[in-house]
Structure 1
C-alpha cells in the first residue's frame, strides 16, 4: 500500500519541523512538503497533490480557513486536518464549512495527530474531544453564531471591528464591550494581522465593504486610522 502523502502547513518553523519529523518517522507516511503560510500551501497542494494537508489557522499571509477553502475547491480529493491552538466555536465551524475533515488542537499528543492523519487520509472525520463535544449542537441547530464576513476573526474581534467601522475609538469600544483599553488594543492588533491590513483605516474600509458598521462615515484626523493599536 503506498504511503500517505502529507503536506504540513504552519508558520512556526520549530513546530513545523518537529511535526514533519514525527509524521515522517511513521512507515506509512511520506511528508512531501512544508509550507510556512496559506498562500504557499495552496500552491504546493496544487503541484504536489498530497493526500492530507495538516493546516494551522493563524498565519501571516493567507489564513488557514481560506487556504483550506481554496485547496478543497481546487481538488476535493485532498483532505485537510486542522491543527491549531484555537478551540473557539467560530474557528471550528468556519473550518468545517471551508471543507476541513478534521480538527485537532496543538496540545494533542504526536500519536493522536498521527492517528488523525491516517483517519482523515481514509476519509474519516476526526475531531478532538473538546471539539467533538460541541458538534451535536452544531448539527442540530447550526453553530451558536453565524459566521459570515471575516471567519478568521473570533466573535469578540468581529464585535470590535463592527465598532471600529462605526467610527468609535478604543476608549469608546472598551466602554461598549466592558473591556480594558489594553484588551481592545490587543484585539485591534489581532484584527489587523488576521486581515493583513497595515492600519485601522484599511480594516474599517474592508469592514464597511462587507456591510459592518452603521455609524458615521470615515473619520477624520484624530479618529479611526490615526491611533495605532
Structure 2
C-alpha cells in the first residue's frame, strides 16, 4: 500500500513498485483516514507512508496499523530529512525510511528487504537514537526484562505466567511497568521495538 497525498508522486511510486517482479500494489491512499481504512481492510504486507498528510500524519497511520494490521510492515516515505520526525516514526514501529528523491530501484530494494523482515535504518538515525536513549532497558528489573522478551515473542500474560511460574496478575503488573519505562503503550509496539533493537548495540 502506498500513502501519499500527491497523486503524481503516489502514482509514480506505484508504477515503479508494480513493475517489479513479485511485488503488487494492493491499495493507494491520499489521506490518513483512507490509509487507515484500507490498511485495516486489506492488511498489506508492506505500507509506504508519507509523513505529511492533509488530515493527519504518517505517524498516526503507523500507530493505527499497529493495532488494526500488526502484520503490516511500514516504511516512512518523506521528501525531507527530518531526524525528529523519522525518529518518532521509528519509535512507532517503522522498519525503514526513504526519501522521495531516491531512485525507483532503491525504493523497490527497500520494499523487498522490509517485506523479508529486515529493518533498515541508516547510521545517523541509529546514532541519534543511541545518544538520546543510551540503554532504554537499563531501568527494567530482571523480571521485567524477562517479561519484555516473552511479550516480544507474542506470548500472552497467561502464557508468560506459566513460563515464569508467576501469578497472571503479577505478570500484568510487570507488563504495565515495563511499558511505562520504555515509553510504549501497546504490546504490538513492544514486538516492533524489540525487533528494531536487533540492529543496534543495545541488545
The answer for unaligned runs of 5 or more in structure 2 is: 135-203
The answer on whether the counterparts of 2:51 and 2:57 sit within 8 Å (CA) in structure 1 is yes
Q: Distance in 2 between matches of 1:86 and 1:141?
A: 21
1:58 aligns with 2:49: no
Q: Which has the higher helix share?
A: 2
SS for the counterpart of 2:52 is coil
Coordinate RMSD, CA, aligned: 1.5
TM-score of the superposition, structure 1-length normalised?
0.56
Whether the 8 Å contact between 2:76 and 2:86 is mirrored in structure 1 is no
Q: Report the Cα distance in structure 2 between the residues aligned to 1:8 and 1:141, rounded to whole angstroms.
A: 31
Instruction: Check conservation: 1:66, 1:98, Cα contact below 8 A.
Output: no
**1:29 pairs with 2:56:** no
Larger Rg: 1
- 1:74-85 residue pairs with structure 2 within 5 A? 74-85=68-79
TM-score by length of 2: 0.63
How many pairs does the alignment contain? Answer: 134
CA deviation after TM superposition for structure 1 residue 140, in Å: 4.4
CA contact 1:22–1:110 (8 Å) conserved in 2: yes
1:98 aligns with 2:73: no
Aligned to 1:137: 128
Q: Is the 8 A contact 2:87 2:125 kept in 1?
A: no
* Among candidates 35, 41, 66, match of residue 72 of structure 1: 66
1:18 corresponds to: 12
Spell out, residue by residue over 1:184-207, the C-alpha distance to the aligned partner (whole angstroms, 9 max, x if none).
xxxxxxxxxxxxxxxxxxxxxxxx
CA distance in 2, matches of 1:93, 1:42: 21
- Determine the C-alpha separation between the residues in 2 that align with 1:141 and 1:42: 30
Instruction: Could you list the structure 1 runs, at least 4 aligned residues long, displaced by more than 4 angstroms after superposition.
Output: none
- Hey, what's the Cα distance between the residues in 1 that align with 2:74 and 2:14? 15
